Each structure stands twice: as C-alpha cells, then as structure tokens.
Structure 1
Amino acid sequence: MKVLVIGGGAREHALCRSLSLDPDVTALYCAPGNAGIAEVAELRSVDALDGAAVAALAADLGAGLVVVGPEAPLVAGVADAVRARGIPVFGPSAQAARLEGSKAFAKDVMAAAGVPTARSYVCTTAEEIDAALDAFGAPYVVKDDGLAAGKGVVVTEDAAAARAHALACVEGGGQTVIEEFLDGPEVSLFAVTDGETVVPLQPAQDFKRALDGDAGPNTGGMGAYSPLPWADPQLVDEVLATVLQPTVDELRRRGTPFSGLLYAGLAITSRGVRVIEFNARFGDPETQVVLARLKTPLAGLLHAAATGTLAAVPPLRWSDGAAVTVVIASHNYPGTPRTGDPVEGLAAVAEQDGPTAYVLHAGTTQDASGAVLSAGGRVLSVTATGADLTAARDRAYRAVGRISLDGSQHRTDIARKAAADAARATNAGAQA
C-alpha cells in the first residue's frame, strides 16, 4: 500500500523508518517531514492542521493509509477529514482525541469507566485553585487542561509556583487540573485499537526532566528505554484489563469510538497502578525504542486498526533484546532554543555504528548546500539496540559521542539505573 505520514519529528521519523522496512509498503510519503525523514520517504508540503488539505494530499497520492503523528492535528479533526474522503486513517477523531486535548475530559472518562487515577479537582477560579492546593498539599501537581507539548505540567514543593502556573492556565477562560501526587516509577504503555479490540505494545520508560538525576524543568522527553526489567511481568495484562479496554469501551459507549494509538502514562504507586494521563498518539521518545523492538510489520497493524479488523491480526512479535534512545537538544531547551547550528557526525554514526545504532531526526532542516542544521528544541534521537540494556545503552552513547552540535545538551543517565539493576540481577542469578 501507499502510506502518508503526517508530522515532522523524531516520532514520525521512527514511524517512517519502520514503515520503510515493511515489504507491503510500495510508496512512503511524509508531510512535512524533516531532513532525516527525507532519506526514507518522499516529502510533501502541507499544513498539518488543515484537514481538508491533508485529505486532498492523501487522495492525490493514492494513499491507502494515512498515519497522523502529532496530537495537534488529531485534536483539530484532521483524521475526521481524511475518513470523510473514504481513506483509512490511523488516528482518532477530534471527539475521541479530547482524551488528550482536555485533561478534565479524560478524568471524566476515567471516572465513568472505573479506571484508577489520581484524585483531582478541575478549577477555573483563583478560589478553586487555592482550595485544591490546600486539599492535596505538597508536592503540588498542576496541569494545563489543554495541549502543551509535554510541558504543561508542574510538579513542585513550592506553593507559590504551583499557584502561579494554575492561574496562568485559567487566564482567559481556561481551566486547570490539580491532583494528588502519585509516588513510584512512571511507565508509558501504548496500545493500538480499532475502537473495540485493543492490542498493547511493549512498555517503555521515558525521562521528562532536562537534566541528569531527574533535575531541571519538564521537557517533551530526553530519552527512553524498553523493555523494563524491573516491571511486574503481569503489568501489561493488568493495564489492558483495568485501564485500556475500559477506556476504549467507555468512549465507544459514548458514541465517540477511539481508533488509533491510545497512550497510557502510568505511575506504579504503592497503592497499585494509576493513570497519570492519556495521549491520543504515539509518544516521543518512547516510540523510538518501542518500534526498534517490534518485529511485526507496522503497516498491516496500523491498517487493521484503521479499518476495524484488528481482531484478525496475529499476536505481535518482539525482539528479545533492548533499545535505548538518547535525545540531543539545542542550547537553552526547553526554553527558547537556539537554531540554525550545523549538525555534524551523522555520517560517522551510519558508517561506524549502523545498523545497531542510528539517528532519528526531530528538529532539523537542510540549507541550500544540503548541510543539516538544527531547527527546534529536541534535534535528534540517537537510538540503539542490543542484547540487553547495557549493550543498547553503550551503543547509544557511543553514537552520541560522534555527533557535534554547538551548545547542545543531552542527559548522560538514560537507562543507567535500569541497566545496572538488570546486570546485578543477572549476575546474582548466575552465581546462585
């Protein structure tokens, strides 16, 4: 089939890379794409938020499947416009995408479906904000109700900072969600669904804070790894039964079935699994490591979800190894990033580290001479696979070391603890 991917970040590069390896994909397009995606897909120009334009492009290309990567086009109804043209599309309707577009809506759905999540208050006034902050106490968790590119959440011990963020969220008629703090490690679990059948993928963990040791401000994500050796082997089955399937069933009951990628952000708390948030699309950078381990051809899986035939798909196949992604970000990210700096060393990674390590482009562009330049906050996702987390991590950081971007930053501790703990467990088992 011919496939059109909408978006231009590292998530879309990961999707395009996997789709390009699928023998059933006869032509692959991406709009607008980026400098790296251009190596595996034909780029097209389109306003990703213009549903009519995306649908027209898909029709002109003869696409048999459209994959909408980012959340903003989904919330804007791009998938609806493509479906209206009779073209299969992987991505939920605007109504179903409210699961990500409004945290208050997501809380309402979870309450109706009996999904375990943090206790919360939806606030629209200063008085309500003060009451909610007093009710929960520190650490304070304050969320912008709408889309915020992964940076709309403040977790702080500082009551004044929490109140300031909440007030900024409600300014101009908005609302904020203030909720209890959830202890324990976080897990990202994706599931492909056609609105009835739900097929979970392998879990991953990402690193939201900008600096080593989970210090610094929230970002869109600075790295990820999969699998999670420390997680309960029954975690995926438990989340499918208590979170994913009930949520999909509730949205179908409401007349707004969710077809696409349902992303559950989870906290493994002392009281059990709790949902932190839902997203309506593949996450970035978790997609990079999850797809690196997926052996089932991607196009058929996404097409089955888009056409309501997911129940007929055989069980997914996964590599036994691990994958690690390290994000290289621009100077000053997650503040206003510096752009236009040359990115060097990409060829060295391909020549010396491929195919077990490779670079996925996020915020890049090319100048007239073909040189790759930084064009965003998160510039590259350096992804590597290996027999275990230690091997994958070593390969990822070796590849990171070959890349030069003036003023760039990256975390040095992605998957460090998980790899060390897994190695100790393996050694202890061998000695026993």
Structure 2
Amino acid sequence: MKVLVVGGGGREHALVWKLAQSPKVSRVYCAPGNAGIAQVAECVPIGVNDFAALAEFAKKESIELTVVGPEDPLLGGIVDYFEEQGLKIFGPKKEAALIEGSKAFAKELMKKYNIPTGAYCAFTDYEAALAYVREQGAPIVIKADGLAAGKGVTVAFTLEEAEEALRTMMVDDVFSGAGARVVIEEYLAGEEMTLLSFVDGETVIPMVPSQDHKPVFNDDRGPNTGGMGTYSPVPHMDELVVRRAIDEIVIPTAKAMVAEGRPFRGILYAGLMITDKGPKVIEFNARFGDPETQVVLPRLASDLADIFVATVNGRLDECRVEWKKDATVCVIMASEGYPGSYLKGREITGLPENTDDVIVFHAGTAEKDGRIVTSGGRVLGVTAIGEDLSEAQRKAYETVKRISFVGAHYRTDIGAKALRRAEEKTK
C-alpha cells in the first residue's frame, strides 16, 4: 500500500524510516519532508496545514493510509477533514487532540477522573496569575495553555523566574496567543519518564518507556527545548512503576476520553514525573513525541503499518505488539543559539550512511545546490542501537563527533543518568 506521512521533522523521518521497512508498504510519501526524509521517501511540497491540498494528493496518488506527525494539523482537524473525504488517516480527531491543545482541559479531565497529577490553577488575567504565584512561592511551574512547540513551560525555582515567565507569556505574548491562558502547577520532584501508547478508544497498547532531556545544557541546566536527546529503555524505572503508570494513568485516561464523548484514536503521549508517591502526569500529547520516537521505533519488532491500519479500522485489540531487547540512544545536534534565534543554511559535513545500528534522523535540514544545510533549531537526531545503553551511547557519540556544521551544539550526557543509576545499584 501507499502511505503518506505528514510533517517534516525528526519524528517524521523516524516514522518514514520504520514504515518503509514494512513488506505491506510499496511506497512512502512525506509532506513536506526534509533532506534526510528525501533519501527514503518521495517528498511533496505541501504544508502540514493545507488539508485540501493534502487530501487532493492522497486521492490522486491512491494513498491508502495517511499518518500525521505534528500536533498543529491534529488540533486543526486534519483527521476530521480526511475522514469526511473518505480517506483513511491515523491520528485523533480535533475534539480528542484537545488533550494536548489545552493544558487546562487536560488538567480538568484528570481532576474529574482522579488521574494522578500536580495541583494547579488556570488564569486568563495576568494580575490574578501574578498574585497567585506570589502567594504560592517557588519552585512552581508556569505553562502556556496552548501549543508552543515544546517551549511553553517554565520550571521556576525563584519567584523572579516565575514572574518573568508570566510576563513573557501573558503580556509580551511570545507564544502568539498560546499564553493568553496559563496553567500554574505545583512543582513535582522526581525523575521524568515518557510513555507512548497506541490507543483505540478504550484499547491501550503501551510502548517501551523512554526518557527525554528538555533543558538545553548538560545536567538539566538552561532553558527548555523541544528535547535534546532520549534513551530507551529506562532501566532504573522498575516494571512496577511502568505498570502503575499504565493502570493508573494511561488506561483511565483513554476511558475518560470515551466517557467524555471524545474517544481517542492514535498515539497518546504521557509525560510523567515519577515521584515518591508514584507516577504523576506532567503533560499529555496527542501524537508521537520528538525525539522519543527516534529511540522507541527502532525497538519495535512488529510491523508499524499493521498497527496503524488496525487502529484506523478500530481493531487495535486484535494486534500483538512486540519489542526488541536492544537499547537506543538519540543525541540531538542543534543550531547555534537554539532554543533562541538561530541562523539557517549552514552546510553539514561528515554525515554517515545509515546502518543497522546507527541512524541519523534529520529534523531541520534542507538540500541546497547538492549540499545538506541546516534549516531548523534541532538539526539532527543521531540514534544508535546497542545491546545495552552503554554501547548505544558510545556509538551515538562516536557518530556525533564525525558530523559538523558551524555553531553545532549538543548535550554530552544523554543516557548518563541511567548508567549512573545502574552503577549505584551494583555497589
């Protein structure tokens, strides 16, 4: 069958790469794609929010399945639009995608159905929000209610940081309306874990857990980014913790969405904090995470196309999903200045051929005069597969050191936390 992937980042490169391995898939298209995706799929110059053009292309090329990568088109209703056109598409409808599109909605849902999360208050009035923050004190978490490309969250350890976050979101409007309403949350202490799940109504099939690194610098310092690297598995999180997350959070959330008349069908991303009282929700997303996808999909032993088709047809409960025991590490190479402003068009050299154990997923790249150049903040996701995390980490950083572009920066401690925990256990 022919498949169309909507998007043009590292997550979409990973999706295209995995779907192309399916014996059921004859051809993969990607709109708009990027320079790396163009090596494994046919890129189509259509924007992710141009639903009419995407649907027209799907009809013209007899696309049997469309897979949506980013959140914007999901919140815009691309799934609703395609289904109205009689086209098969993987992802939640607009009303279900709101679990990502509004942090206040997600919080209210969790409160109503007793799903573990931090205490919170939502505000549309700046002065009221400021008064609340001053009353609560720091540390405290400030979140833009709407979509902000993974950058709308500030974990403020001082009152000054909290006030600055409120001002930039609500007064300066740095997130173009996404911060008109803010959610102010209790600070949760612990360690983060991401749990992605295939969901079809009340049917939930969890994936292997991973751990993202949001802050831009080593040791979780600096401003939050869309993610500077990931690894999977998360060996210091025991199976009981993961089982609790599934039983107390993911399954109840899927059931809650059905009860609310917003059945979720697609990928439910649960960003979790593992506290001393168990797992609690930091955030939900309505799609694959980036860069979590880059470490989770290489561990998938089952046919991804089969899972997508079963979900779209309401038959996920018939799927058996299996995983490899390998470990994976993904290191993000970013542009100079990211997550702030950055220059584009810098030539990338030293890119290796992808192998069975090292894949370079392109996130922000373009082709110019036969050269691969930077075109985004997060440029590459260098992913390596090993028998254990130590081997995967070594392979990833060996590859990173061979790739260069002016101003490139990356964290050098992706996976270090897990390796340190493992070493502590052996003492």
**TM-score using structure 1 length:** 0.94
For residue 330 of structure 2, what is the amino acid of its counterpart? Answer: T
Residue of structure 2 equivalent to 1:13: 13
Match status 1:122 vs 2:125: no
Partners of 2:96 and 2:16 in 1: how far apart? 25
Whole-Å separation in 1 of the counterparts to 2:217 and 2:4? 35
Distance 1:306 1:113 in 2: 26
Deviation (angstroms), 1:86: 1.8
Q: Which runs of 5+ in 2 are unaligned?
A: none
Give, in whole Å, the separation in 2 of the partners of 1:100 and 1:10: 20
Task: Give the C-alpha shift of residue 195 in structure 1.
Answer: 1.7
Provide the aligned C-alpha RMSD in A: 1.5
Deviation at 1:65, TM superposition (A): 1.0
Matches of 2:424 and 2:190 in 1, distance apart? Answer: 21
Of residues 144-153 and 243-252 in structure 1, the stretch that sits farther from structure 2 once superposed is: 243-252
Equivalent in 317, 329, 332 of residue 327 of structure 1? 332
Q: Secondary structure at the match of 1:100?
A: helix
Deviations 1:258-296 (A, max 9, x none): 111000000001121110000011001111000111111
CA distance in 2, matches of 1:219, 1:37: 23
Residues 135 and 198 of structure 1, relative CA distance in 2, 3 Å threshold: farther
The one-character-per-residue Cα deviations of 1:2-53 (angstroms, maximum 9, x if unpaired) are 1100000000000000001111111111000000001111111212112222
Contact 1:51 1:80 in 2 (8 A): no
Residue 182 in structure 1 maps to residue 183 in structure 2: no
Q: What letter matches 1:285 in structure 2?
A: P
Q: CA deviation at 1:135?
A: 4.2
5 Å matches for 1:160-239? Answer: 160-171=160-171, 174-239=180-245
**Aligned residue number for residue 342 of structure 1:** 347
Query: Where does 1:222-301 land on structure 2 (aligned, <5 Å)?
Result: 222-301=228-307
Cross-structure match for 1:376: 376
- Give the conservation status (yes or no) of the 8 Å contact 1:145–1:169: no
CA drift at 1:197: 0.6
Q: Could you give the per-residue CA deviations for residues 197-230 of structure 1, whole angstroms, max 9, x where no partner exists?
A: 1111000001001011111111000000000110
Segments of 5+ residues of structure 1 without an aligned counterpart are none
Contact 1:331–1:409 (CA under 8 A) maintained in structure 2: yes
- Give the letter aligned to residue 348 of structure 2: V
Alpha carbons 1:129, 1:163 under 8 Å: kept: no
**Equivalent position of 1:409 in the other structure:** 409
Separation of aligned partners in 2, 1:109 and 1:400: 42
Distance 1:417 1:247 in 2: 29
SS of the residue 1:350 aligns to: coil
> Does the CA contact (< 8 Å) of 2:134 and 2:159 recur in 1?
no
Structure 2 match to 1:62 = 62
For residue 36 of structure 2, what is the aligned residue in structure 1?
Answer: 36
Distance 2:187 2:330 in 1: 27
State yes or no: 1:313 paired with 2:319: yes
One-letter identity of the residue aligned with 2:411: R
CA shift at 1:168, angstroms?
A: 3.5
Q: Which amino acid aligns with 2:329?
A: V
Q: Hey, what's the Cα distance between the residues in 2 that align with 1:271 and 1:137?
A: 22
> What is the correspondence of 1:64-79 to structure 2 with a 5 Å cutoff?
64-79=64-79
Give identity over the alignment, percent.
Answer: 47
Amino acid at match of 2:361: L
State the 1:422 CA deviation: 2.5
Deviations, residues 31-88 of structure 1 (Å, cap 9, x unaligned): 0000000111111121211222222222222111111000111111111111112222
Aligned length: 421
- CA contact 2:130–2:166 (8 Å) conserved in 1: no
Q: Which range moves more in the overlay, 164-173 or 253-262? A: 164-173
Moved more, 332-341 or 161-170: 161-170
User: 1 CA distance for matches of 2:132 and 2:282?
Assistant: 17
Return the offset for 1:423.
Answer: 5.0
**Alpha-carbon offset, residue 256 of structure 1:** 1.6
Q: Is the Cα contact below 8 Å between 1:52 and 1:78 reproduced in 2?
A: no
